[in-house]
Structure 1
Amino acid sequence: MTKLRAKVCTPQFLQTFKEKFDSEYYQLYKDRDRQAIEKLFASPAVYESNRVFFDFTPLIVKGNENFGIRNAKNIYSAFKDLTLTQASTEEFWFTMLNTYYLDYIFESMKANDKPEILKNMMFMGTTRAFFIQHLARAWWIGYRTYDESHQLNPWWLLDFMGTSDIHGKAYSLFASTFTNNKKIGLGIIEGVMLSQDHFKNIQYTYAYVDKYFNALGGVKILDVLTREQVRDMTVKLLEDVWTGEYPINAKDRKHIFLEQ
């Protein structure tokens, strides 16, 4: 196995990069100027950390079959020993993407090379940050869906949730504060899976359930719930929606119900 050292930059380097991106650096990426970008990241402000990973795993670009699922499995597995604090560090993911994963950036830009698209790919920003930056997004989806209690296939919930638009679903579900508690997210996914006879496995369904738990969090401490309770509450909610016992507007009904 090939041993590689993870790279990270200083906060000052990242801040300066953001400030100069539009005026100086964007053109380097648009021109696919690998040499100039590599020189930029050869700065003393970019350094190797003590963190070691093995067997470089590439990110797969959009358009390849099940690319979101494969990226989540691969990146989380490659960096599984990261602490949550380390996995929350923008400097780490930004530097790794611009060094080891530079080919991914170039390949992705073939579909769209607008500055804002590239910024979303590289930077975390402030809103739902973990599920915007592409490398961090893969890791966090992997982390939030990995089910250690399911020994036969710890990825069984990701395999279900990720059958289409995994990033949209993750954006809707995992960006809520209450799903920082991993068991809540796992419980919701399993609840949706158990309700798939009547409900679509789409972003809108997860957003609808997310809205319910957000409202519930105003009157109940969600962290005290077990994963099984969250699963059963999700099933009960969707069952009541289906039978008409829980109110739902026509727009939501059209989006989340399977055709009858």
Structure 2
Amino acid sequence: MKLYYMPQELLNELRGNFQHYLHYYRENDKNGLLQELSRYGNLKESKIECEDFSLEMTTSISNGKTAYNESDLANIKIMYTHLKDKLSLIAAADEKLWDGMSHSCFWDYVQFREAKQLKSDKEKDVSNAYILAVKKNGIRRARAMHCLSRLWWAGYYTYDEENTGNPYELTEFYFSNAVPSRMLLMASRNFTANRHICIGLLRSLKKRYERGEDSLERYHVETAFTYLNGIGGATSLDFLDSYEIESLVDDVMNQKYGVL
């Protein structure tokens, strides 16, 4: 399976004249879109190659609304398993790769996952479904919002290589529901660029949950993130390993919410 990226010329054309191409996305006409865009060039084949894979496209109903929790979690594992050894951090941070993937092998998945956005009256909602909104949000937030790129980055932040029994245990814990919002929460902190900090933090939160915390709530994560963000200026967190980070978070959570 070859991965394709979107050349800058095509990206500039879509960003500058998206209204002209809007109907192709709403009508699910990939071939028509690429044919018209061919006046400006074509998607380019990258040097990245992996085993063929597809993403799950299943939903459930929660409180009368369409829910993607189960398939989102499954797709984090699928995406990261197939590409964790194929993508460098530079490649994974490049919007052109994800924009190319959304316009090629994963077009149908984006149609499925962003069905609500594609029906929106707002042009930007349709555009953001297929193109990373880097100019408005910055690259880190944009890749956390995009339905394809956030799958790989969610895996990157939470895949625990030292857990030989189930390296996705923290992934399953943190992304048990609300993948988009929890991904944005994680990506909003500068220190999360270091995955070992994320791993240590999540180990601590998971430990509290297993010892009797009712559930993982946003305020638990906010407390831990705010604490690490606060000490980051005085302590170089990058020099600490995941177990030292885990111990730091243990201490602050015990002080804040009591020892379990």
TM-score normalised per structure 1: 0.84
Q: Which residue of 2 aligns with 1:140?
A: 153
Q: Flag the 1:168–1:110 CA change in 2: closer, same or farther, 3 A.
A: closer
How do 1:1-260 residues align onto structure 2 when only pairs under 5 Å count?
4-21=1-18, 23-40=19-36, 42=38, 44-58=41-55, 60=57, 63-64=67-68, 66-80=70-84, 81-113=86-118, 114=120, 115-124=123-132, 125=134, 126-127=137-138, 128-196=141-209, 197-198=212-213, 200-243=215-258
Contact 2:113 2:147 survives alignment (8 Å)? no
Q: Flag the 1:238–1:48 CA change in 2: closer, same or farther, 3 A.
A: same
Provide the C-alpha distance between the structure 2 equivalents of 1:148 and 1:50, rounded to a whole number of angstroms: 26
Contact 2:10 2:41 survives alignment (8 Å)? no
Contact 2:158 2:168 survives alignment (8 Å)? yes
Unpaired runs of 5+ in structure 2?
60-66
Unpaired runs of 5+ in structure 1?
245-260
Give the drift of 1:65: 5.0
Q: How many residues align?
A: 240
Provide the C-alpha distance between the structure 2 equivalents of 1:61 and 1:41, rounded to a whole number of angstroms: 31
Give the drift of 1:73: 0.5
Provide the C-alpha distance between the structure 2 equivalents of 1:200 and 1:152, rounded to a whole number of angstroms: 23
Contact 1:9 1:91 survives alignment (8 Å)? yes
Identity %: 21
Q: Flag the 1:30–1:237 CA change in 2: closer, same or farther, 3 A.
A: same
TM-score normalised per structure 2: 0.84
Give the drift of 1:131: 0.4
Moved more, 168-177 or 112-121: 112-121
Contact 1:71 1:138 survives alignment (8 Å)? yes
Provide the C-alpha distance between the structure 1 equivalents of 2:149 and 2:91, rounded to a whole number of angstroms: 11
Give the drift of 1:230: 0.9
Contact 1:8 1:46 survives alignment (8 Å)? yes
